[in-house]
Structure 1
Amino acid sequence: MSIRSPFPRTQRSPPRSAISCGPTKMSPREIFALRDHLGAELKGRTLSDAHDVVSLTDILSQTVLGGRLRELSGRAVLLKLSDQLRSGLAMIELDGVARRMLLCPPDLNPAYLDALIADAGIDAVVTDEPDRWAETGVPLVVTAQLPLQATAPAQTERATEWLMLTSGTSGVPKIAGHTLEALTGAIVAEGPARGPAPVWATFYDIRRYGGLQIFLRAILSGGSMVLSDPHEALADHVARLNARAVSHISGTPSHWRKLLMSGSAAQFAPAYVRLSGEIADQAVLDGLKAAFPNSSVGHAYASTEAGVGFAVNDGLEGFPADYLGNRNGVEMKVVDGSLRIRSTRTAHAYIGRDAAALTDDDGFVDSGDIVELRGDRYYFVGRRGGIINIGGLKVHPEEIEAVINRHSDVRMSRAKSRKSPITGGIVVADVILADGTDQARAKEIRDQILDQCRAQLASHKVPAVIRFVETLDVTPAGKLARTDA
């Protein structure tokens, strides 16, 4: 039986010469925008959060911008909204009309806004709090609002530049510039989904790179999407995922560990489970496979700057060494232990008055992710910028955590350094035990973890202190919060 492709006729990527991040107008035949993937023939599609459900089938004749889209034509727009639903709807309206749009995650420090507005040349804001912008000097403020209003369908005018903020930095975050073509490169390369249109979900916020990838997959695949809510209890979130028949879902390893610890995984049975954003160690992969035995469990490598690099679907941590070189249009190499990537999916530049170069002279993005070759496979050992100092020696905390997490009674851990008057620094590990672990076995488990670490780690990496804790902090980006004591 032949399966009709869910990709509209405009799915074909435009030639490089057609992409423009400036105000130049181009024929819709030369470019594509998100609205071009929302054909009326694709019925029953929805975008929903914990409060509202919006029909993606009908969205082309509706507006979240109060009918003011024409005023935003050719402008550099900051998207600063309280919720993901209105953000996603505004992205669909603005793409192909605005000159550029800067996606603002909800936890952004307001003190950074002036610098980001200047660096991105922002001359319009889409917000749900218009009064806050009255004295900012931004010339145009447009309010996004629900319920949607009827409007005439918009036409694609230009290739909008998508601006995203990097995470994990101190101070003003960097702005990475993408085209929709680059953002959707991996999705288009995979081809149309087979079988029923998927219902997507992610623990990420869609204004971050990992979440945006899932939002774009939902739009391009002809499917629906269920958005997360940071204020919703995990059990309620899972109940909503079930009620919406979510089939495909992604998150960071920390997101998934929290789900496994909650007991809610027993109520959930997605067909497709993916991890990204942090190192996916063998313990969390095995835990997910045990929790979802009938699911496809894998992990993907991507970053805001490097774009989507690759996916690993063999159930093992790390990635095969033969992924290096040119594979499926993505070229990778390792320089001084750091993974470097060159492809059409990467961001094209950092944006700003004093922006650094995003790539090296050969066009490779230095990811800053350190890998180590063991046999015929590369393993991630940590971030170059996340190294802790132990007695003058450099240590990747993720390497220690991977060993601790292999213990059958451990669900999650975090290693960090603590100052010592004798050695200058020691490793301290905070550990969450799996549900149902007998607390009377705490000393036995601690001794077993230490024996495991001594057998698999250099002596200076072995924790001097192991503390059993109830929770570990996770950042708004879904990553384990790392601070040295």
Structure 2
Amino acid sequence: MQWLLDRFATAAGQPAFIHEGETTTYAQVIAQIDGFGSVLAREGVKAGEKVAVLADYAPAVVCLILALARHGAIVIPLSRAAVVEEDAALAISGCDWFVEFDPEGREATFARRPIAAEHALVSALIAAGRPGLILFSSGSSGTPKAILHDFERIADKFRKQRAATRAIPFLMIDHFGGVNTVLAITSSLGTVVTVADRSVNAVCEAIARDRVQLLPATPSFLTLMLTSGLHRRLDLTSLTRITYGTEVMPQSTLSRLKQAFPGVELQQTYGLSEVGVLRSQSRPDGSLWVRVGGDGFETEVRDGILWIRSQYAMLGYLNAPSMFDPDGWFNTQDQVEVDGDYIKILGRVSDIINVGGQKVYPAEVEDVILELDNILDVAVLGEAHPLLGQIVVAKVSLLSPEPVEDLKRRIRAACRAHLAAYKAPAKVIVSDESFHTARQKKVRRA
């Protein structure tokens, strides 16, 4: 990790963070990392020990994580809005130390918390004298999986310096995409702008106030942002690039985004906690076709499923069988279409709805419904049916009240006009609940 600190030293006076209106320079970041190195020695934290860090983004939090990596520890980032319960996570990973930051991310409290959990992969990493990173899947389809990475290997992806930018790390610190974003911004000597929460208001106000250039977000968040109209009421002209990933983007949202931000580059990204984030290039026709790969990554499509081989892949799961084949290829479980060098992501295999043997991808139905008036958001899912296997169910939230029968007729008519009849929702449910996890990903379950 020393190469990263050496790079920071070349930009000592430049802003590394803007947090709660205060600027932290790269010189101050180096000083904080060195300071935490002294704290780790004083507390007695040893190389190879597992250290859980409960916090959100703040300069001190990132500095501690980098200090732990330099120290050779195994870092377990946790957030207060985690999709995985703290006790459940630590029971899987094990723990030696627990560090909790105050809500402002300024003061850290260290405490011994011995939780025994032996893993051959962790032992091998410690024996090699390498720092580690343990992250957890959302567990949306069962028990969360503990994912072990070599921290040094993740950071090495950013040795090649890229253009500096000012960006908001939208994904949480306990998400691979969040760690990847912070490393990408700081390794390029850009500026990390933190937000108090991931609400549309907080994010848009931060863009306007701190002149953010890059917004990495989820399609669900961007759909809500467009519906809110805040992009018209606040000055977001500093934005030069919006990236989107982690779930399928509705074409209707992408088209509206292009119209709302005509001078902004819209880039689809693709990555998984298990293999890392690939370089991507969206096709310039405003469609959802994207080319993915880059140095250290190989891709191929088998029976319509995307497989990836990565130099930055996880070492493995701590509590689940490997998803890699004998040649190191990872099954993403993402169904795709192929057009030359480009792919279009249709959805996760686990999300596909089977209606009498016919496949329905939730995103294609959601795309049609989002085009309709008075729709704030929608989540499409499958529900068991004794004859058909499953039926299509649409859960919708509305901008203003509307008679349910009128809404059902509008939705079914629109879907039948644009899709095969079996893809039209057999059931429509009006709901005020959020359709998203704390990671701003769509939840498609009853």
TM-score (norm 2): 0.81
Which of 217, 241, 253 pairs up with 1:272? 241
Distance 1:463 1:451 in 2: 10
Distance 2:45 2:436 in 1: 36
Identify if the C-alpha distance between structure 1 residues 183 and 233 changes in structure 2 by more than 3 Å, giving closer, same or farther: same
Aligned to 1:164: 135
Identify if the C-alpha distance between structure 1 residues 407 and 309 changes in structure 2 by more than 3 Å, giving closer, same or farther: farther
Which of 323, 335, 356 pairs up with 1:370? 335
Distance 1:317 1:345 in 2: 29
Offset at 1:371? 1.2
Aligned to 2:70: 96
Offset at 1:222? 0.6
Aligned to 1:460: 422
For residues 60-209 of structure 1, the aligned pairs below 5 Å read 60-62=30-32, 65=36, 67-70=38-41, 71-85=44-58, 86-106=60-80, 107=82, 108-118=84-94, 122-128=95-101, 136-137=113-114, 159-180=130-151, 182-184=153-155, 187-188=158-159, 191-193=161-163, 197-209=164-176
1:422-453 deviations in whole A, cap 9, x for unaligned?
756432213356x7x9969994x765543442
Aligned to 2:253: 284
Which of 56, 59, 75 pairs up with 2:26? 56
Aligned to 2:441: 479
Distance 2:3 2:314 in 1: 18
Identify if the C-alpha distance between structure 1 residues 292 and 318 changes in structure 2 by more than 3 Å, giving closer, same or farther: closer
What percent of counterpart residues are identical?
Answer: 24
Identify if the C-alpha distance between structure 1 residues 79 and 65 changes in structure 2 by more than 3 Å, giving closer, same or farther: farther
Distance 1:405 1:176 in 2: 35
* Greater share of strand: 2
Identify if the C-alpha distance between structure 1 residues 334 and 375 changes in structure 2 by more than 3 Å, giving closer, same or farther: closer
1:199-249 deviations in whole A, cap 9, x for unaligned?
11132113211111211111111111112333x753244223322221111
Identify if the C-alpha distance between structure 1 residues 52 and 175 changes in structure 2 by more than 3 Å, giving closer, same or farther: farther
Please, what is the CA RMSD of the aligned residues? Answer: 3.5
1:156-208 deviations in whole A, cap 9, x for unaligned?
x964222222224455422222234543466456x420xxx311113211321
Count of aligned pairs: 420
Aligned 8 A contact 1:342 1:364 in 2: yes
Offset at 1:473? 2.4
Aligned to 1:359: 324
Distance 1:172 1:466 in 2: 29
Identify if the C-alpha distance between structure 1 residues 284 and 345 changes in structure 2 by more than 3 Å, giving closer, same or farther: farther
Offset at 1:105? 3.5
Aligned to 1:413: 378
TM-score (norm 1): 0.75
Aligned to 2:282: 313
Between 87-96 and 453-462, the greater mean CA deviation after superposition: 453-462
Between 283-292 and 391-400, the greater mean CA deviation after superposition: 391-400
Say which SS state the counterpart of residue 256 (structure 2) adopts.
helix
Structure 1, unmatched stretches of 5+, are 1-30, 140-156
Structure 2, unmatched stretches of 5+, are 103-107, 117-127
Which of 191, 200, 205 pairs up with 1:239? 205
Amino acid at match of 1:137: P
Aligned to 2:185: 218
Distance 2:294 2:89 in 1: 39
Amino acid at match of 1:224: T
Matched, 1:296 2:257: no
Identify if the C-alpha distance between structure 1 residues 467 and 375 changes in structure 2 by more than 3 Å, giving closer, same or farther: farther
Distance 1:332 1:160 in 2: 28
Distance 2:140 2:203 in 1: 29
Aligned 8 A contact 1:125 1:138 in 2: no
Distance 2:240 2:273 in 1: 26
Which of 334, 350, 366 pairs up with 1:385? 350
Identify if the C-alpha distance between structure 1 residues 396 and 277 changes in structure 2 by more than 3 Å, giving closer, same or farther: same
Distance 1:125 1:440 in 2: 52
Identify if the C-alpha distance between structure 1 residues 179 and 131 changes in structure 2 by more than 3 Å, giving closer, same or farther: closer
Between 166-175 and 354-363, the greater mean CA deviation after superposition: 166-175
